[in-house]
Amino acid sequence: MTRLEHGAILQRTVPQHRVCGLWTFQETECGPRKLDGERTSEVSTPKGSTVDNSGRSGKPIRLNAFVQNAVTHQSSGLWRHPDDRGRRYTDLEHWVELARTIDEADFDSLFIADVLGMSDVYAGSRDAALANGVQVPQGDPMMAVSAMAAATRGLGFGITASVSYEHPFSLARRFTTLDHLTKGRVGWNVVTGYLTSAAENLGLTRLPHDERYALAEEHLEVCYKLWEGSWEDDAVVDDPERGLFTDPSKVHDIDHEGTYFTVPGAFLCEPSPQRTPTLFQAGASSSGLSFAGRHAEAVFVSGPSTGVLARNIAKLREQIEAAGRDPHSVVVYAQLTPIVAETDALAEAKYRSYLDLASREAALSLFGGWTGLDLAGVPSDQPLRYAETDAGRSALAVFTSDDPDRDWTTADIAEHLAVGGRGPVAVGGPERVADEMERWIDETGADGFNLAFAVTPGTFADVAEYVVPELRRRGRAVAPDRGPTLRERLGGTGPRLPKDHVGSTYHR
């Protein structure tokens, strides 16, 4: 961990303008909410989109549900709220009900985050995380997916797994198994792992940040060889008369010997509908963006303003194009927490009830896990500056180098993260929230939202009841039937990797 000492890693002390900690879309006690320090005037428009007279892109707004198999995820302490059912995370019916709700609302996928460790940086202890239910206790992100898939018609499932703590041979088999059982509706959120506690409990030493991405490159190479190259398309014959199930001549060893992995043999699984699961990624460091440019088919981003977000999305699309791919072939989801009700007044009352129960200590515990920085004991009005750490860098950059026009203090960060985590929070009735969704999409170049929850499943149920019908009325909702596999649901022309994707080069 990196401990923040007064005057050491903290930014210059300057008089601070009065701010509210959350990016809400309403009048607050601080006055009218100003969301951005700037507006972006040039946002490229994907092919097939329309632009109305206001200059807004008419492309559909995609939605994901952002969850974790845990008591809480991004909104720290709200397991105490009477409307929250997060403590049911061990109940399979809880997950099936949630999946049905968002499937009926035409969400692209249920994106399941995961960490294989505890946030133990804040005050040098895991106590704050345990006491406040900060992503612990938790369960495995994969286990409920087949049941949810069986209960839904088209919903995809993005599952987080770390290349640092999973061997590619066994991980590839699990994803292929799920791809078969879900009929091609599985995605892999590729992460490198940032918690020291996760590495220690596996008997490993956490690699430096950039080396984790070097490992990730090789991990993906092994997986591509297994998924795309080991079994030919017609290897399975299934011919009872000849007594031949698989043609041995069409199953191949991958003969991989690299820096981090040695995998000499053949894959154990026959090709699944997608072969390679749809690939998600969320890193925003230079290494993460470069990795996403080569591999990702969908990317999750977050930022406190449309200006910050637009710059980061533009950098991402530049990396995608540099890799020889269509820069708009990758779906970009921006994080957002919607607090919505039938009217603006009811939504604002709901939001205040969340703020009353949110834990600022828990928020700083979560921040410490993300960034490796311990803010315990740092004065609440002390500004923060960017520091290189070997934990996740994108979370820290959101509050420092990515937003240079604002000095974020410890109190600001705790307040901002308390409800909704790193992304903005939209508060209002259906029209107000839909207005803000349109604005963020049209000003940033994002394709949709990765919706975090304040309470579960209530946040998602409210979006399904109030916001989705409003987006449909405006012609900004996605089509209900977008293809049988997750890759096709996200706009792909078929179930397999496109020809310009590096993974397709391993296909026999």
Q: Return the percentage of the chain with pLDDT > 90, whole number.
A: 62
Tell me the mean pLDDT in the region 121-130: 84
Residue 395 clears pLDDT 90, i.e. is over it: no
- What's the pLDDT at 10? 24
Tell me the mean pLDDT in the region 288-304: 94
Residue 153 corresponds to which amino acid?
R
- What's the pLDDT at 9? 24
- In this prediction the pTM is 0.84
Q: How confident is the model at residue 404 (pLDDT cuts 50, 70, 90)?
A: low
Tell me the mean pLDDT in the region 151-179: 97
Ranking 63-77, 85-99, 377-391, 490-504 by mean pLDDT, the lowest is 377-391
Residue 194 annotated as binding site: no
Ranking 3-17, 295-309, 482-496 by mean pLDDT, the lowest is 3-17
Ranking 245-254, 322-331, 404-413 by mean pLDDT, the lowest is 404-413
Question: What gap in Å lies between CA 398 and CA 403, rounded to an integer?
Answer: 6
Residue 382 clears pLDDT 60, i.e. is over it: yes
**In terms of Cα–Cα distance, which of 324, 216, 230 is closest to 269?**
230
Residue 239 annotated as binding site: no
Element housing 196 (H / E): helix 196-201
Beta pairing class for 186-191 and 156-162: parallel
Question: What gap in Å lies between CA 244 and CA 248, rounded to an integer?
Answer: 9
**In terms of Cα–Cα distance, which of 306, 397, 291, 395 is closest to 314?**
306
450: exposed, middle or buried (C-beta count within 10 Å: 0-12, 13-18, 19+)?
A: buried
- What's the pLDDT at 399? 55
- What's the pLDDT at 285? 84
Token output for 284? 């925003």
Per the rule left: phi > 0, alpha: psi between -120 and 50, beta: everything else, 372 is: left
3-state secondary structure of 492: coil
Ranking 127-131, 294-298, 394-398, 461-465 by mean pLDDT, the lowest is 394-398
SS3 letters across 306-373: HHHHHHHHHHHHHHHHHCCCCCCCCEEEEEEEEEECCCHHHHHHHHHHHHHHCCHHHHHHHHHHHHCE
Q: Return the percentage of the chain with pLDDT > 70, whole number.
A: 84
Tell me the mean pLDDT in the region 80-97: 96
- What's the pLDDT at 400? 52
Q: Higher-confidence residue: 48 or 243?
A: 243
- What's the pLDDT at 44? 45
- What's the pLDDT at 397? 54
Residue 285 annotated as binding site: yes
Ranking 383-387, 411-415, 443-447, 470-474 by mean pLDDT, the lowest is 383-387
- What domains are defined for the chain? 2-42+63-506 (3.20.20.30)
Token output for 26? 């309403």
Instruction: Please give the C-alpha separations between residue 74 and each of 23, 39, 101, 195, 337, in angstroms, as whole numbers.
Output: 15, 27, 20, 16, 9
Q: What is the mean pLDDT of the chain?
A: 85
Residue 213 annotated as binding site: yes
- What's the pLDDT at 46? 45
3-state secondary structure of 412: helix
3-state secondary structure of 38: coil
Q: How far apart are the two ends of the chain, measured CA to CA in Å?
A: 45
Residue 359 annotated as binding site: no
Residue 235 clears pLDDT 50, i.e. is over it: yes
